[in-house]
Amino acid sequence: MAVEVVLPALGLTVEKGTILKWIKEEGNEVNKGDSLYEVEADKVTTEVESPASGILKKILVPEGVEVPILSVVAVITGPSESLDEKYLRMVILEPEEQKDIAVSHQVQEASALVPDGSAVIKAPPAARRLARERGIDLSLIKGSGPGGTILLKDVEAFSAQGPQSEPKASALPRPPSPSRYRLGQVIPMNSVRKVIARRMVQSKSTVPHIYFFHDVDMERLLALREEIVDDFEKNEGTRVSVNDFLIKAVALTLREYPIINSKVSGEEIHIFPEINVGLAVAMEDGLIVPAIPKADQLSLGEIARYRADLVERARRARLTIEEIGRGTFTISSLARFDITFFAAALNPPQSGILTLGKVEERPVAQNGQLLIRRMMSQGLSVDHRIIDGVVAARFLQSLKDKLEQPSFHWRSQ
């Protein structure tokens, strides 16, 4: 009996996914649990496993095509089983259905102007990402997809050919620009930006936000990090960052104030059973927030390794749906920019997000003396349906105490 391979539900907000790569080919023997294909949806790339053992008889959705979740993308049969045309007509998308969701639409969202602004390169996000990683100019590649679309396999084939000649420079080279955008440009929202837009509208229009700010003396924490960083790397296999201390401190403080680790569901408040701290990671088209699970139960070394791995894979779009969907509280940092403080919208359905500004030297009055201390401004945005001002203030005060009096006991708590 034929078994249909469908694009699975990939998250509460995910409506469509793009087939990036077929790992198995038509005619291949597959076992249940084998990886069949890679799919990209809402900034995440993941592999989909075979639902059954047999022969991958027919691939219905080619690479580079976006389809709605639960669409049939392939069919698996027994070794000697055949597929009749009537069955295929039932499961395959009709041309009119494809017109709305397939490559022509995907290409419009994924198009990018070449440097001289004279032409459009048609390529899905995965192909452009691989080209960037390998230093390949997409204008040198001839696409094999519809309308000359450059597919992932085209980039891989081009890369395998070795070094290629560079395109001819224009007679009047344009000076480098700090932005890839230009005045007067009309930019269709790609799938990533659509998701961000939808979620931010949901957050600001349905949740009453309330904001709190405070300053933290980071002098002792930074001195502690500077003191232990070399030995920490030797013993733990990774360098400890300021964010690792912050993640641990936030997790321990959420343990003290679990109401901030919660969400609204109908007319009930649900406190999450775990403390999973998410760290916002900047990507080309927006932010993604992978979360460290049970952060309150991890040592500083375990948090550092988790954080380094998640951030690295986030930038390569190699996170799983679970890793970006399990967060219960978010930390968002602009500390590497000249930003003193900022307020952030909540990441639904979470009820709290902590924002971090840059660390800067400031004059501070202490015991009648004027000292220069390294300070950080932090902001807390919370869902006012759940969290009152006093609770938020107490949370920030407890967090401040941990950061200003750091100690090694964080490793084991």
HSE-CB for 168 with a 13 A CA cutoff = 3
Rounded-to-integer distance, Cα 255 and Cα 294, Å: 10
DSSP string across 80-142: T----HHHHHHHSPPHHHHHHHSHHHHHHHH-EE-TTSS-EE---HHHHHHHHHTT--GGGPP
Rounded-to-integer distance, Cα 159 and Cα 263, Å: 47
Query: Would you call 384 a catalytic residue per the annotation?
Result: yes
Q: Which two tokens stand for residue 248?
A: 């641990």
- Measured CA to CA in angstroms, residue 73 lies from 60, 62, 67, 78, 249 at distances of 5, 8, 9, 17, 45
406 with 219: CB under 8 angstroms?
no
For the chain, the C-alpha Rg in angstroms (whole number) is 25
Rounded-to-integer distance, Cα 192 and Cα 17, Å: 11
DSSP string across 213-233: EEEEE-HHHHHHHHHHHHHHH
Reference 347, options 334, 365, 332; nearest CA is: 332
Rounded-to-integer distance, Cα 213 and Cα 341, Å: 8
The helix, strand and coil proportions of the chain, stated in percent and rounded to the nearest 5, come to 35, 25, 40
The backbone torsions φ and ψ at residue 222, rounded to the nearest 5 degrees and listed phi first, read -65, -35
Considering 105, 209, 214, 384, which one is annotated as catalytic?
384
DSSP state of 307: H
Q: How far apart are the first and last CA of the chain?
A: 54
Strand partners, 22: 37
What is the bridge-based pairing of β-strands 329-333 and 277-279? parallel
Contacts 24+ apart (CB under 8 A), 227-236: 232/300, 232/301, 232/304, 235/301, 236/300, 236/301, 236/304, 236/305
Task: Kindly list the catalytic residues.
Answer: 384
